[in-house]
Amino acid sequence: MRNRTTFILGFLFFVSIVVIGMMANQLKINKENANENGAPTENEAPPTEVAGIAHNPPSMEDLPEGELGEAILRGYNLTNDTSTILRDEAASVEDGEARVNQLSCTSCHAGAGLDEEVSSLVGMAAVYPMYIGRSGQIVTLEERINGCMVRSMDGQKFADDDEDLDAMVAYLTYISEGIPVGAELPWRHQNSIDNLPTPNIADGEELYQKSCIACHAADGAGTGSNTGPKLWGEGSFNDGAGIARMTKMAGYIQNNMPIGAAGTLTDQEASDLAAFVLSQDRPEWGKHDKDWPAGGRPSDIMTKELRQQVKDGTINWDEVLGTKK
Ligand code: HEC
Ligand code: HEC
């Protein structure tokens, strides 16, 4: 009897070791399939089941009572209506100057960052602080929010003690509930296309006038931060923003646009559209020379210099896109 129990226990132990080994191996495979950004190398479905991390943020209907609940709601509203709120409220306006452009976080992180498909912000409180190559250091969640404030929102940083910054962190922490610290989130970094084909800007413009102007207007000025945000010109993101890179703009457009027919554009069309949008004038980022201090600066950031080369017809797309011919 005793021997039999020992045998069964031993057998169960053996089985669990094998299962754990298989799981560890699978995780390793997932890691190997990811590039340094944590993005899958192919456009395959992300391994949600294997990682076991579900995109299932708690509802905004179930907020905790009291100050915490109020801060979370404030953070949600700031994420969804960023420029309107920061513009209209005296506390956020310095010397009569609004702190931000005319976008909202929702302009790129759809549905206040709750849409799994469109640069979701779910889980961010679980993955930051983390190392960011562009900054060359470990970045906190507060600093990452400020990164989008000064680049994508072409504005000013929140001060460390700004209650609005605390509110945004409270919101992002709330929607990260249940996600283990350091988890690999399958919905992160999905909007990028490697090996983009050489763009044709005239084709991009033609397609833009056909498929995009209903929401973003013929001159790119948009119809509203959450209905069709500004794509270029004053009030749009500056050229230090992540989406000012060809690979990220093309990936974002292909995965998410045009709304209602997302996923229908070819790599060539996405490249044409990205090149058309990013060759238009936009606010400049003043500190390009401080970015990527440890090296590794990508070649596809559409700076003023590259926009000028597009106008002059001297741009070398192979160099910009890192294409080896
Ligand atoms: C013009 C588009 C745009 C706007 C507007 C924008 N972001 Fe972002 N945001 C991005 C892009 C692009 C990335 C990088 C995603 C990637 O690397 O794949 C990013 C990354 C982030 C990240 C880190 C995501 C990660 O997975 O590490 C956070 C947090 C974030 N944004 C918060 C915000 C907040 C808060 C706002 C509003 C104050 C905002 N963003 C406005 C485009 C935007
Ligand atoms: C039916 C309306 C609609 C159409 C058509 C549409 N968009 Fe958008 N676009 C939006 C909305 C709304 C957002 C905000 C994010 C979201 O809700 O997904 C957005 C966001 C964007 C963004 C990121 C925000 C920014 O300011 O840069 C880009 C880039 C973009 N669209 C490009 C395009 C392109 C290119 C096309 C044509 C292929 C297109 N869109 C067609 C509604 C539309």
Q: Is the pLDDT of residue 23 over 80?
A: no
Please report which confidence band the pLDDT of residue 4 belongs to, taking 50, 70 and 90 as the band edges.
low
CA 106–ligand 2 middle distance (angstroms): 11
Q: How many angstroms separate the alpha carbon of residue 270 from the centre of ligand 1?
A: 20
Residue 325: pLDDT band by 50, 70, 90 thresholds? Answer: low
66-118: per-residue pLDDT in tens?
A: 999 999 999 999 999 999 898 877 455 565 565 789 999 999 999 999 999 99
Q: For 201-320, give the CATH class.
A: mainly alpha
Residue 168 alpha carbon, nearest atom of ligand 1: 35
Rounded Cα–Cα distance for residues 256 and 108 (Å): 10
Q: Which of 46, 75, 107, 153 is nearest to 259 (CA)?
A: 107
- Residues near 193 by Cβ (< 8 Å), separated by ≥ 6? 247, 250, 251, 254, 267, 270, 271
Fold adopted by 60-174: Cytochrome Bc1 Complex; Chain D, domain 2 (1.10.760)
> Residue 225 CA: which ligand 2 atom is closest?
14
Other CB atoms within a 10 A radius of the CB of residue 170 amount to 21
Q: Considering every ligand atom shown, identify the ligand nearest to the alpha carbon of residue 220 and give its number.
A: 2
Alpha-carbon Rg for the chain in angstroms: 22
Q: What are the counts of helices (DSSP H) followed by strands (DSSP E) for the chain?
A: 14, 2
Choose which residue among 226, 237, 255, 257 to substitute to test ligand 2 binding: the one with the highest number of ligand atoms within 8 A of its C-beta: 257
Among 213, 247, 251, smallest CA distance to 232 is for 213
Asked whether the bond before 129 is cis by omega within 30 degrees of 0, the reply is: yes
Per cent of the chain over pLDDT 70 is: 81
Mean pLDDT of the chain: 86
Within the chain, which residue ranges are assigned CATH 1.10.760.10?
A: 60-174, 201-320
Hey, what are 246's tokens?
Answer: 């060809």
Strands (E), the chain: 130-132, 137-139
Pocket flag, ligand 1, residue 245 (CB < 6 Å)? no
pLDDT confidence bin for 18, thresholds 50/70/90: very low
At residue 96, the pLDDT reads 54
